[in-house]
């Protein structure tokens, strides 16, 4: 095909920007729409049937209005709960999901002590337990369900003050010591968390590898697009990079500036229910 591909990146908020940033490195000239369901944030507070209904309704509108060639669900919660329904409903539309990067963590750890830092829902789901059983059975795995980090990341992106003590309290349970070994790899099992990774590194009691799934997600999206559109040509200019918020609210100036660093322009839309 000669036209550039259309990509839809979907998340409950701004966490998917961490995935978006990796995709545009591989596909700089594509036509991008980022949808932040800020009216439904945080997804961790939703019951599963209601979340399925909400995301399916939003996706109906997004697919009808924008006709994407591929959809990236840049949210762990939505991926583990809603992705199967999306793939059944749109069998011809590729969906790329986000799952905890437990396999690479288990491969890279030297101490065989890893932690999975996610929302309370993500770390409690059978999906996560199955990944641990499949790929990290030889490791000591600490599951840490955070109540506040996603919200803190949103506040950070909005230019609001975020206290070190609040971040430190959320990541502290990830760091474990047993005799002569200690945690050396932490899985960031929520796409919001890499937005704060520099703060994590600064506040950590010792250095660890913070494992972000975003590069792998981007490679998968690029692979699927390559099968249909071929490789992105060097030097091509981006077609469009837009972001919409389901609340319909105008983003504050600090957030507009942050979005501009990703090349994203805000587009007003009719608020969702």
* Helix, strand, or coil (residue 267): coil
Q: What pLDDT sits at residue 191?
A: 95
Q: Report how far residue 269's alpha carbon sits from residue 37's, in angstroms, rounded to the nearest whole number.
A: 12
* Helix, strand, or coil (residue 151): helix
pLDDT truncated to tens, each residue of the chain (273 aa)? 578 899 999 999 999 999 999 999 999 989 999 999 999 999 988 899 999 999 999 999 999 999 999 999 999 999 999 999 999 999 999 999 999 999 999 999 999 999 999 999 899 899 999 999 999 999 999 999 999 999 999 999 999 999 999 999 999 999 999 989 999 999 999 999 999 999 999 999 999 999 999 999 999 999 999 988 888 766 666 678 999 999 988 888 999 999 999 989 887 665 555
Q: What pLDDT sits at residue 235?
A: 63
Tokens of 110: 């030297």
What is the value of pTM for the model shown?
Answer: 0.91
Query: Sheet holding 140-146: strands in order across?
Result: 140-146, 113-119, 185-188, 209-211
Residue 230, Ramachandran bin (φ over 0: left; ψ between -120 and 50: alpha; else beta): left
List of domains in the chain = 6-98+214-266 (3.40.50.1860), 102-211 (3.40.50.1860)
Which active-site residues does the annotation give? 75, 190
Q: Report how far residue 244's alpha carbon sits from residue 165's, in angstroms, rounded to the nearest whole number.
A: 32
């Amino acid at each position: 095909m000669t036209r550039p591909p259309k990509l839809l990146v979907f998340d409950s908020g701004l966490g998917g920007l961490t995935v978006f940033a990796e995709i545009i490195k591989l596909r700089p000239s594509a036509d991008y729409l980022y949808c932040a369901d800020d009216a439904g944030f945080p997804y961790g507070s939703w019951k599963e049937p209601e979340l399925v209904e909400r995301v399916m309704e939003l996706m109906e509108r997004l697919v009808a209005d924008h006709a994407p060639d591929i959809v990236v669900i840049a949210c762990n919660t939505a991926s583990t709960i809603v992705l199967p329904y999306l793939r059944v409903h749109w069998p011809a539309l590729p969906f790329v999901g986000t799952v905890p990067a437990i396999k690479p963590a288990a491969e890279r750890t030297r101490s065989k002590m890893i932690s999975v830092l996610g929302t309370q829902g993500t770390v409690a789901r059978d999906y996560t337990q199955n990944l641990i059983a499949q790929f990290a059975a030889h490791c000591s795995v600490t599951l840490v369900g955070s109540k506040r980090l996603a919200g803190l990341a949103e506040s950070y992106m909005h230019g609001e003050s975020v206290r070190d003590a609040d971040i430190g309290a959320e990541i502290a349970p990830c760091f474990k010591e047993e005799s002569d070994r200690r945690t050396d790899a932490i899985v960031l099992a929520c796409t919001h968390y890499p937005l704060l990774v520099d703060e994590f590194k600064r506040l950590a009691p010792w250095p660890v590898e913070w494992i972000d799934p975003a590069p792998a997600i981007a490679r998968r999206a690029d692979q699927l697009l390559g099968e249909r559109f071929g490789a992105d040509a060097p030097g091509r200019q981006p077609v469009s990079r837009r972001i919409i918020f389901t609340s319909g609210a105008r983003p504050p100036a600090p957030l507009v500036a942050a979005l501009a660093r990703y090349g994203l322009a805000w587009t007003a839309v009719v608020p969702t229910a």
